[in-house]
Structure 1
């Protein structure tokens, strides 16, 4: 029995380390392009290098970090191809989600609750978390399990996308995002599929334009 329990505990520790490093990436402690050294992370977290190594592999599968033999592990710095691919994939998933939400006409209380939280966000990093939570709520309202799983597979990379966006330009971000998302919620509630799709496309395009220098 003990031989079966020990590996599970080690996997749990690696997951905890991954959570801590992921949070540090998302709060700006480790910026895009920043080095993640196993020894330093192990010392900071009070663990051995084994769980740190497993955690970094997990984060690499999520697309948050990149490991290269000559550079070690670094926080992913999105290039033009990354930005374009994430934008196009997000668009494909979101179009289906929005269409399903409008068709189903579900209760959007969870979506409204996130908009209310946006109005109280203290800084850009908290607003980015709210932004992701808003889209989580939209995917949940769509009622399509595999679609939500597809979204969750790229969610961390979209989080990085939005962090990169505020790193390029944050002026007006805190002030404008709540109203923008309130408008998205109202479009879903109104049941006009085409209008909702157009508004969500404009919402995505703004972040894309900032990242590509087109704004």
Structure 2
């Protein structure tokens, strides 16, 4: 009698992963806006694949927080509620505060140069969507420079939702956005390079608060 296998057979998921990548990219590029419905039949037709990989891809994106599935509405691109924004901001703040402390304590000059390079690339952004991508890349570099694997994994768990949050921010307003974001990030880099923990923590908090204020409408009320 043969010994029973301890693991189930592996399945190839390459096609579903590719479909998820393409839908995610369409969301990040603004082709699918928050609240927009994603229909399996239409997606499978546009991408010339069966509905199975599309369904599997949408499950991946749901776990990432980019889409929401409901029996009465189908699948839609996530629209962040006030509670979503508050929870995401508080968690992001906790992770970034630790990342800043770790970067200042441990990062090499080469690590900081990588962070600075992403800030420099913001000067070349031609539109708000490209600026959002460089904003995310900047924070990727900060978490990488922290040299803390589990912290980086935690950031990766909310990264797509932060991207969606920033898309929501530019959906509310882009007034002054292309000018102010590079300046804010240059200030963040300067504080990290100076190894000034208090200043860096304050600047990162202010940077986050600006975006939250735009999304929640607080910037208009002030």
TM-score of the superposition, structure 2-length normalised? 0.93
List per-residue Cα deviations over 1:60-81 (Å, max 9, x = no partner).
Answer: 0000000000000000000100
Q: 1:1-215 to 2 correspondence within 5 Å?
A: 7-8=11-12, 11-107=13-109, 108-215=112-219
SS at match of 1:21: helix
Q: State the Cα RMSD in Å.
A: 0.9
Contact 2:64-2:160 at 8 Å conserved across structures: yes
Q: Deviations over 1:53-108 (max 9, x none)?
A: 00000000000000000000000000100000000000000000000001114221
- 8 Å contact kept, 1:118–1:130: yes
- Structure 1 residue matching 2:218: 3-state secondary structure: coil
C-alpha separation in 1, matches of 2:182 and 2:197: 21
Question: What is the distance in 2 between the residues matched to 1:178 and 1:77?
Answer: 27
The alignment partner of 1:31 has SS state of coil
The runs of 5 or more residues in structure 2 that have no matched partner are 1-8
Shift of 1:41: 0.2
Provide the rounded CA distance (Å) in 1 between the counterparts of 2:208 and 2:177: 14
**CA shift at 1:113, angstroms?**
1.1
TM, length-normalised to structure 1: 0.96
Q: Is contact 1:105–1:191 with CA below 8 Å preserved after alignment?
A: no
Counterpart Cα distance in 2 of 1:58 and 1:205: 29
Q: Summarize deviations over 1:94-129 as a string: whole Å, max 9, x none.
A: 000000001114221111111121000010000000
Matched with 2:3 is none
